[in-house]
Homo-oligomer: A and B are copies of this chain.
């Protein structure tokens, strides 16, 4: 189908990985912290370990094994253990808070700001992230992202791909499923969105997980749009 045949009114964006390059943003902040403190650590390995709080934490919430905890809470709970494992000791509470809140200061991929500016002329732009509201707001201000609306897991107390997130967004945006397009670098997210009747756009981010990335390098279904970046997405959506 062509983009013009779609009655899309709003775009909902996955954020971590799709909009922002969380890995190199966090790595830079960890490395800068290490230089300041004179601490030598394999920060890439540290981040890989810290990151393991994310999917298992969300899965524990989704399966009812953990009461609702936002992403900031999941990372915060894991930080102490990772610091201990890598021998980083004696930090103040303020220093730990600074590390934890590195997740609130993430850089967009180079095409994002230009693409979103074009898309905003015609479509309502919302986040639909597993992040939390305060984090989404902080990232938007830091990265200059012109969202019309912040929707995310924390509002629904459910993580993607739970149906409550997609259905909840459709209800709050007051749109029919076919009027909203999910934009994501992750096939699982688009698969879930499509199962609720939403449109889908895949934008590959082959360096999200660093040089050795093996997943989500390609679209795994015939998504409505497959674009190399947000500028190409804006073109495909006639903006």
Listed in ascending order, the chain A residues whose CB lies under 8 Å from chain B are 72, 124, 126, 132-134, 136-137, 140-141, 148-150, 154-155, 172-175
Contacts and interface: CB of A to CB of B under 8 A. Distances in A.
Nearest to A9: B134
Contacts of A72: 174
B150 A124 contact: no
Copies in the complex: 2
A101 B173 CA distance: 14
Contact of A148 (B137, B155, B172, B175): B137
A192 to B, nearest CB: 21
A173 B134 contact: yes
A80 B124 CA distance: 29
B149 A133 contact: yes
A126 B154 CA distance: 16
Nearest to A154: B172
B141 A148 contact: yes
Given A149-B150, A150-B149, A173 B137 contact: yes
Contacts of A141: 124, 148
A178 to B, nearest CB: 16
Given A132-B174, A137-B148, 14 more contacts: A72-B174, A124-B137, A126-B137, A132-B172, A133-B174, A134-B172, A134-B173, A134-B174, A134-B175, A140-B148, A141-B148, A149-B150, A154-B172, A155-B155
A128 to B, nearest CB: 13
Contacts of A132: 172, 174
Nearest to A146: B146
A30 to B, nearest CB: 22
Given A149-B150, A150-B149, A150-B150, A155 B172 contact: yes
A141 B123 CA distance: 10
A15 to B, nearest CB: 14
